[in-house]
Amino acid sequence: MLQRVGILLLAQVVSKGLAFVAFAWLARKLGASEYGAVEYAFGLATFAALAVEGGLGSVGVRRLAQGEQPAARLAALIPTAQTCIALVVVPAMIAFAAVFANDARAVTLVAIVAASVLMLPWKQEWLFQERGNMMPLAASQILRAAVFALGAVALVNGSSDVNRVGMLEIAAVASATLYLMFVQAGSIAPIRARVARRELLDLGREAAPIGAAAIVWALIQYAPLLMLANMAGMVDTAYFGAAHRLGVSLVTFSWIYHFNFYPTIAQRLVADPDATAKLTRASFRIAAWAGIGVALALTLAAEPLLTTLYGDKFSASVAPFSVLVWTFPLTLLSGHARWMLVAARRARDMLVAQVAGGFVAIAAGAPLIARFGMVGAAVTMVIACVTIWAVAQGFVTARVRVAPLAPCVRPAVVAAAIVGLAYAIEAAPWMACAAGVLAFTLAAPVVDRDLMRDLAHIRRARSLRSHGGEVRDAR
C-alpha cells in the first residue's frame, strides 16, 4: 500500500508543482479580476467533476474487490451512467454562473471549461485503483498538468488571453483521458458503452448516497469561494482563490492516501474484521502525526510561501491560507471514518455526515464571510470539516466499532505549543518553520511510543491483490 501511495504522491508533487507554476504565471500575467474569474471557473468545474463521478467509481472498486461483477462489464456500464450525469451537470454549471457570478468574463470562462467535464467519464481511474496499478494514473496526472502549464506559459501573456486558460484546460483533460483510454484498452478492458436499464439503475441505487456525499463535499470545499465571489467580487475571490488552491491541493494528498487504503479495508473487512480494526488504528496514528505536521509547517511558513508563489500583491492571501491548511489533517483523519462506512455498505451514514457539514457551511458561511471576509470563508471550511468528522466518527463507533480517535490528541497538542511559541517570540517565518518541523519530528516518537510500532504494521500490510484468497475463503 505504501508503494502505491508513494507512486501517486510523487505524481501529485510533480503535477501540483507544475500547476503552481502555471497559476503563479497566471496570477502575475492576468489582472486581479481576471484571475478571480479563473479561480471561480475552475472551482465550479471541480464541483461539477465530483458530481459527474457520482460515487460510481467507488461502487466499481467494491464490486470488483469483492468479486461481484467482471471488469469488462462494469467498465462499459459506469462511463455510460457518468455521461448521462454530465449531460445534466454541464448546462447546470453554465446556468449557475450566469445567475450568480456577477461577472461576464467568469461566465464565458465557465462555459469554455465546462466542455472538459464531458470527457471525464472516460478516464475510468477506478479501474486502475482496484488493480493497484498506479503508474498509468501517475503518468496521466503529470501529463495533464504539463500540458496546462506549458500552454499557460506559452500562450497567456495578458488579461486579454483569459479565455485561452479555458481552452488549455480542455486540451489538458483530453490528453490525460485519451492516454488512460489507450492503457485501459490494451491491458484491462475494451472501451465500450453499455446501456442496460436494470443494471444502470442498480448501480445508481448503490452509488447515489456516495455520489451525493461527494457533491456535498464539493459544496463544502467550494461554496465559500463561490459565496465570496457573489458577496465581495472577483478581486477578493482572486486572493482567497490563491490560498484556496493550495489548501485544496493539500486535501488531494488525503485523497491519494485513502484512494489506496480503501480497497484494502474493503476487502479485509470481509476477510478479517479484527485485522481491519488494527490496521485502521495504525493508519490513523500515522496520518495524525503526518497531517498535523504538514499543517504546522505551512502555517509557520505561510507569508513567504504565498508571496513567493504569487507575488507581493497576494500578501492578503496569507491569513486565510493559515486557516485553510488545517482542513488537510481534518480531512485526512476523518477519511478513515468516512471510507470505513462505505466499505461496510453504510454509505448513507457517510452521506448524513456530509450533509451535516454542508448544512453548517451554508448556515455559517454567509455571516462569517460578511463579518470577516476571506478569513471567514476559510473558517467556514474548517468548521464544516470538523462537523463531518464528528458525525462520521459517531456512526463508525455505533455501527462498525472501529473508532480510532485518541491518537490525534498528542500531535495536536505538540503542534499547538510550537505554533504558540513561534508567534509569541515573533520568529522569522522560514526559521520558525524549520525549527518547528524539527522539534515536531523529534517529539513524535518520544511523546507517542506506539508510532514506530504502527508504522511497521502499515509497512507489513500486503497489497490488495494478495488478499483475494482470504476473501474467497471468508465468503
DSSP string, 418-460: HHHHHHHHT--HHHHHHHHHHHHHHHHHHH-TTHHHHHHHHHH
CA distance to 17, 198, 374, per residue, from 195 (Å): 40, 9, 46
Question: Exposed, middle or buried, 33 (CB in 10 Å: 0-12/13-18/19+)?
Answer: middle
Q: Give the span between the Cα atoms of 87 and 35, in whole angstroms.
A: 28
What is the model's pTM? 0.68
pLDDT of residue 263: 66
pLDDT of residue 220: 80
pLDDT of residue 466: 39
Spatial CB neighbours of 371, under 8 Å, sequence gap ≥ 6: none
Cell triple for 127 = 479501474
Q: Give the span between the Cα atoms of 225 and 313, in whole angstroms.
A: 19
User: Coil, strand, or helix at residue 189?
Assistant: coil
Q: How many whole angstroms from its chain centre is CA 310?
A: 22
Q: Give the span between the Cα atoms of 475 and 464, in whole angstroms.
A: 16
Taking residue 301's Cβ as centre, other Cβ atoms within 10 Å add up to: 21
Spatial CB neighbours of 88, under 8 Å, sequence gap ≥ 6: none
Question: Exposed, middle or buried, 189 (CB in 10 Å: 0-12/13-18/19+)?
Answer: middle
pLDDT of residue 337: 84
Question: Exposed, middle or buried, 25 (CB in 10 Å: 0-12/13-18/19+)?
Answer: middle
The HSE-up count of residue 207 (CA atoms within 13 Å, CB side) is: 27
pLDDT of residue 468: 38
CA distance to 143, 311, 387, 419, per residue, from 308 (Å): 25, 6, 33, 22
Q: Give the span between the Cα atoms of 317 and 213, in whole angstroms.
A: 29
Cell triple for 164 = 485561452
Cell triple for 424 = 509569541
Give the position of cell 482567497.
240
Task: Report whether 430 contacts 308 (CB < 8 A).
Answer: no
CA distance to 190, 297, 376, per residue, from 61 (Å): 17, 35, 38
Phi, psi values for residue 302, rounded to 5°: -60, -50
User: Coil, strand, or helix at residue 196?
Assistant: coil
Give the position of cell 504539463.
146
Burial profile 110-129: b = 16 or more Cβ within 10 angstroms, e = fewer: bbbbbbbbbbbbbbbbbbbb
Q: Give the span between the Cα atoms of 475 and 467, in whole angstroms.
A: 13
Q: How many whole angstroms from its chain centre is CA 92?
A: 22
Cell triple for 458 = 502499515
In which element (H, E) is residue 27 found? helix 2-29
pLDDT of residue 464: 37
Taking residue 377's Cβ as centre, other Cβ atoms within 10 Å add up to: 29
Taking only the tens of pLDDT, the chain with its 475 residues reads: 566 667 767 887 888 889 888 988 998 888 888 888 998 999 889 888 988 988 888 888 878 877 777 888 888 899 999 999 999 999 999 999 998 888 888 999 999 999 999 999 999 888 887 777 778 888 999 999 999 999 999 999 988 899 999 999 999 999 999 999 999 988 888 888 888 888 888 888 888 877 787 778 777 877 888 788 878 777 788 888 888 888 877 777 777 777 667 666 666 666 666 666 777 788 888 888 999 999 999 999 999 988 888 877 788 889 999 999 999 999 888 888 888 887 777 778 888 888 898 888 888 888 999 888 889 999 999 999 999 999 988 888 887 666 566 678 899 999 999 999 998 888 888 999 999 999 999 999 898 888 888 777 766 654 433 333 333 333 2
For the four alpha carbons of 83, 89, 91 and 93, in that order, the dihedral sign comes to negative
pLDDT of residue 442: 93
pLDDT of residue 155: 94
